[in-house]
Amino acid sequence: MFYVEAGAGDPLVLVMGFGGDHLAWGLQIPAFAAKYRVIAFDNRGVGQSDTPDTPYTTPMMADDTVGLMDVLGIARAHVCGVSMGGMIAQEIALRHPARVRTLQLHATLARPDAYMHALSDVWRERRPGIGREEWLRSLALWLFAPVTYAERPDDFAQAVSAFAGELASRMPSHPG
């Protein structure tokens, strides 16, 4: 399981959503690191973490996160999850309540409904057919609030460019 750390203080574990890796926290990590020991990681099947050859579930990914906390010697942490990462964070709180100091949930839900299943199916079907930068631009639209996109377009473009550049430096281009 790939992870990065920054800062010092109370541990803050950042759990990213569907398809995003630790780089999606790039704008938040420096601000959080001023006060916290920040841990951002790549969920299984994403970024630089392993991709198991079996189906995986949200509870399994919650246990992965707690396993990383164990490896890093973290007994309790502030846990922040966005989108699917919020669903994973909820599972951490339910399955391992003593490990969660505080819980922040952003742009998430308790369980996927028919709409979310349909959206996931479309992403799964479309991903192999589009290039890396186009995929990152579409994901970034889910990561930036409409007001941020409107008021800070340079941040959006910079994030997409940074994500694409980082990925290009460590992964071969996806055929498509």
Q: For 9-39, what is each residue's pLDDT tens digit?
A: 999 999 998 778 898 898 899 999 999 999 9
What is the reported pLDDT for 164?
A: 61
Most confident region among 97-101, 127-131, 134-138, 153-157 by mean pLDDT: 97-101
Burial environment of residue 116 by CB neighbours within 10 A (0 to 12, 13 to 18, 19 or more): middle
Look at the pTM and tell me if it is higher than 0.85.
no
